[in-house]
Amino acid sequence: MFPGILTRMPHVFEPASSGRAKCRGCGRAIARGEVRFGERLPNPFAEGEMTLWFHPLCAAYKRPDAVLQALAESSAGVSDAEALERMARAMSAFRRLPRIDGAERAPSGRAKCRSCQQPIERGAWRIRLVFFEEGRFVPGGYVHLDCRGNHFEGHFVLAPVLHFSSDLSDEERAEIARLCGSEASRTSEAQSKD
């Protein structure tokens, strides 16, 4: 090994050693013993590397390229690695899909849609967007739920929207699924295959 050249540690799937880590994708705790995904990145604030921990499905939605790289190196210990790989491949197919961070009702009418540039009315459903910068997700605006087809170029968005909307009630989640129409039936079909 040459001095001064860093060797990068590979991304990893492993059981959580404690229940203290929170998923960078959804913000919920990763239970002790639960399989987690660790993305290894250069530390932008100091020398060396840092590890960002995710639930595997959250990582497949928000960091699909890293998940695909880790699965190519080893999928040992990963339950349903094929389904995880399918989801990561679908998300990496279009650069805007990993920006999805759930849905919510607009609390005011001040935000503009990143797709149509029109204000999002108070109480209307909107999709939250985030960008990944320096090891963290930062807010990136909103898209009308109805503009999802244009913004995401017809790609399948219901599954990640619902995944990152865990704070919504069952009725609200059903309403979003209904508003997404035929996409909802494709989601249930995909979930029944997994």
Pairwise CA distance, residues 121 & 188, whole Å: 30
Residue 181 scores a pLDDT above 90: no
- For residue 170, tell me if it sits in a domain: yes
Q: 57 φ, ψ to 5°?
A: -70, -40
Q: 87 and 104 share a domain?
A: no
CATH code of the domain containing 71: 3.30.1740.10
Q: 69 and 54 share a domain?
A: yes
Three-state DSSP class for 12?
strand
Nearest to 186 by CA among 164, 161, 163, 159: 159
Q: 82 and 32 share a domain?
A: yes
Encode pLDDT of 19-57 as tens digits: 899 999 999 999 999 999 999 998 877 888 889 999 999
Give the structural domain span for 157: 97-193
Q: Which residues pair with 37 in a beta bridge?
A: 13, 54
Encode pLDDT of 65-122 as tens digits: 999 999 998 766 788 899 999 999 999 999 999 999 999 999 999 999 999 999 999 9
Domain-terminating residue out of 64, 92, 120: 92
- For residue 6, tell me if it sits in a domain: no
Q: 86 and 101 share a domain?
A: no
Q: 40 and 102 share a domain?
A: no
- For residue 122, tell me if it sits in a domain: yes
Q: 66 and 154 share a domain?
A: no
- For residue 3, tell me if it sits in a domain: no
Q: How far, CA to CA in Å, does 23 sit from each of 57, 108, 129, 151, 161?
A: 10, 29, 17, 26, 17
State how many domains the chain has: 2
Residue-averaged pLDDT of the chain? 88
Q: Which residues contact 3 (CB under 8 A, 6 or more apart)?
A: none
- For residue 4, tell me if it sits in a domain: no
Domain-terminating residue out of 35, 69, 92: 92
pTM (two decimals): 0.85
Q: 87 and 101 share a domain?
A: no
Residue 186 scores a pLDDT above 70: no
Which stretches of 6-124 are assigned E, i.e. beta strand?
A: 12-15, 35-42, 49-54, 100-105
What element of type H or E holds 175?
A: helix 170-179
- For residue 73, tell me if it sits in a domain: yes
- For residue 22, tell me if it sits in a domain: yes
Domain-terminating residue out of 75, 92, 109: 92
Residue 125 scores a pLDDT above 50: yes
